[in-house]
Chain A
């Protein structure tokens, strides 16, 4: 019954490393999103994509990039990780024709040392 899968639940990286967070959905959803969640701040949108090879900046895109080469896969890339990118990262997807209800992955907790 797994619908949105994030490749890593926990990662520890060093400052300056390149980090890939992978997200795969099996619901044929058009829309995919990357959020980060920090205590006291709620979820904040980093990037989203409404179609293959299409991406749009969210509210906090600085320091991140994304890739959507296939409909089911949306990757978040930290080109050079920094300590202020330590956070919980959540991927979500939704159908364009549905009720815009998001289905979330289990989250990836990233620690940058």
Chain B
């Protein structure tokens, strides 16, 4: 079993839809990261969270430490949001190295 599980694995949406991607983890963490990977490979860091909620433009990330769960929301989705979204946790159990989920592939159609 992976320490970091994401759902769904694949997601399709129509432009304008509200999107939620979920991340559950099984270890104690010091921080959780959301990353975005566009076709071609490059990965961009979207958020780093240790509690509560963060917002950047149309992206919102929340974390519930007690439930070991985080969500990434995209409001008013757009085709340029099509990418793989990756959740990663930093855990003292693993010397604070990042442990990655397998990603959620999002496709937004016009």
Contact residues of A with B, CB < 8 Å?
9, 40-45, 48, 58, 88, 90, 92, 99-107, 109
- Other-chain residue from A41, A101, A106 in contact with B42 (beta carbon distance below 8 A): A106
Asked if A107 and B2 sit within 8 Å, CB to CB, the answer is no
How many Å lie between the Cα of A15 and that of B1 in the bound state?
32
How many Å lie between the Cα of A109 and that of B101 in the bound state?
20
Asked if A58 and B97 sit within 8 Å, CB to CB, the answer is yes
Q: Which residues of B contact A92 (CB under 8 A)?
A: 43
Interface of B is mostly: strand
The smallest beta-carbon distance between A83 and chain B, in angstroms, is: 20
- Other-chain residue from B42, B45, B101 in contact with A102 (beta carbon distance below 8 A): B45
Asked if A42 and B98 sit within 8 Å, CB to CB, the answer is no
The smallest beta-carbon distance between B57 and chain A, in angstroms, is: 17
Asked if B100 and A42 sit within 8 Å, CB to CB, the answer is yes
- Other-chain residue from B4, B42, B44, B96 in contact with A107 (beta carbon distance below 8 A): B42
Name the interface size band of chain B.
20 to 34
B102 located at the interface, meaning its Cβ lies under 8 Å from any Cβ of chain A in the complex: yes
Asked if A104 and B44 sit within 8 Å, CB to CB, the answer is yes
Asked if B33 and A101 sit within 8 Å, CB to CB, the answer is yes
- With both beta carbons as reference points, the residue of chain B lying nearest to A43 in the complex is identified as B100
How many Å lie between the Cα of A100 and that of B88 in the bound state?
12
How many Å lie between the Cα of A48 and that of B95 in the bound state?
13
- With both beta carbons as reference points, the residue of chain B lying nearest to A107 in the complex is identified as B41
Which A-B residue pairs are the 5 nearest by beta carbons?
A107-B41, A104-B43, A42-B100, A106-B42, A43-B100
How many Å lie between the Cα of A62 and that of B33 in the bound state?
27
How many Å lie between the Cα of A106 and that of B42 in the bound state?
4
Q: A100-B90, A103-B45 are in contact. Are A45 and B97 (CB under 8 A)?
A: yes
Q: Which residues 51-94 of B have a CB within 8 angstroms of A?
A: 86, 88, 90
Q: Which residues of A contact B110 (CB under 8 A)?
A: none
Q: A42-B102, A43-B100, A106-B42 are in contact. Are A100 and B86 (CB under 8 A)?
A: no
What would 13 more interface pairs be, CB under 8 Å, given A42-B103, A106-B40? A40-B102, A41-B102, A42-B4, A42-B101, A43-B98, A45-B97, A88-B41, A90-B43, A102-B98, A104-B35, A104-B44, A106-B42, A107-B40
